[in-house]
Amino acid sequence: MPHAKISALGCYVPSGVMTNQDLERIVDTSHDWIVERTGIEQRHIAPKDVATSDMAVEAARIVLEQRGIPANTVDAVLVCTVTPDMLFPATACLVQNRIGARGAWGFDLIAACSGFVFGLTTAAHFIMGGTHKRVLVIGADTMSRILNYKDRATCVLFGDAAGAVLVEATDDPAEAGFLGHLNEIDGSGGDFLRMPAGGSRMPASHDTIDQDMHSVHQEGQQVFKYAVRKMYEVSRDLLAKHNLTINDIAMLIPHQANRRIITAAADRLGIPPEKVLININRYGNTTGATIPLATRDAWTQGKIRKGDIVLFAAVGAGFTVGANLWRWQMDSPNGPPV
């Protein structure tokens, strides 16, 4: 059976920065509240003419260039997003066409903040099943397009970005990357975090616009409590399933929704702070892109090295919950664009 490994990683973050002070001028909030309650200091916002596929294409091109392969050797393109350019065609099709991945198939994967973890799991199984050699997994979201900048409880939380990895086949057991997963969905929590309108239940109308139904609606505390509990439980249970402990892990790379969620879950796991990647201060919650962005930081800062075991964990709208264990198989970067 072939093994799956991550063989390239690239991110794209739009250059425009929105600081907490910028938000103070838009809604009734303060830098101190945002930092204290979330850990966020700034987020990047895409220009008006940039959509999710544009950022996804940039991240995908970095991956292809870094790996030194033509796009037409990619077997599948998965775009993990809740902010596709449009409902259809899938953003995966737009990206596939723009990068020139002729002959590939693919699809959009809607799992909100767990999207990238679900994408990694899916790609790993495509590879291990022997039917795919190279799968591009992209997490990309332009959250600024679905925020209501009059709702201070949500608009301060999110930012825009894209991140991508190439998941590739290897026959060498020493090169095996994917070790295992534990993913769940729990639709009983669906009402706590959602964008109510724009689908078949509540198509766009003057009413849905007047009632602000096309933006993120969240019961923050409900999501917070669930996220802490599940991020802890799924990480604990996945480690136990593989007879591993926190000591075996080089780094926990969690979804970045709130610094307090991450530290509370990490405390319960008993993992020391230096083994927990947090970069929410710079990017906010970029939904599908947080884990590749955090992984890039861990990799480029030398916090994860070839051979290390990395634990990815995420909780998102749905609810969706995911954890993956991967052995990091990339050399430390020395020059390539990341």
* Contact residues for ligand UT7, defined by CB under 6 A: 29, 33-34, 37-38, 113, 152-153, 156, 193, 220-221, 223-224, 227, 257-258, 261, 285, 316
**In this structure, what DSSP letter does residue 154 have?**
H
Nearer to ligand UT7, 29 or 97 (CB): 29
Nearer to ligand UT7, 113 or 294 (CB): 113
Spatial CA neighbour of 71 closest among 81, 57, 85, 84: 57
Least distance in angstroms from the C-beta of 216 to ligand UT7: 9
The Cα angle at residue 141 between residues 135 and 144, in degrees rounded to 5: 170
Least distance in angstroms from the C-beta of 233 to ligand UT7: 15
Query: Which of 113, 132, 181, 217 is flagged as catalytic?
Result: 113
The Cα angle at residue 203 between residues 197 and 207, in degrees rounded to 5: 75
State the Cα–Cα distance between residues 259 and 268, nearest whole angstrom: 14
Catalytic site residue 93? no
Q: Check: CB of residue 165 under 8 Å from CB of residue 63.
A: yes
Query: Which of 155, 255, 258, 324 is flagged as catalytic?
Result: 255
Least distance in angstroms from the C-beta of 29 to ligand UT7: 3
Nearer to ligand UT7, 78 or 112 (CB): 112
Catalytic site residue 132? no
Query: Which of 20, 183, 258, 285 is flagged as catalytic?
Result: 285
Least distance in angstroms from the C-beta of 186 to ligand UT7: 13
Catalytic site residue 20? no
Cis peptide before 116, with omega less than 30 degrees from 0? no
> Between β-strands 42-44 and 17-19, what pairing exists: parallel, antiparallel or unpaired?
antiparallel
Least distance in angstroms from the C-beta of 212 to ligand UT7: 16
Q: Which residues contact 200 (CB under 8 A, 6 or more apart)?
A: none
Nearer to ligand UT7, 38 or 295 (CB): 38
Q: Which residues contact 336 (CB under 8 A, 6 or more apart)?
A: 65, 66
**Residue 263 host element (H or E):** helix 259-269
Nearer to ligand UT7, 98 or 214 (CB): 214
Q: Which residues are catalytic?
A: 113, 255, 285
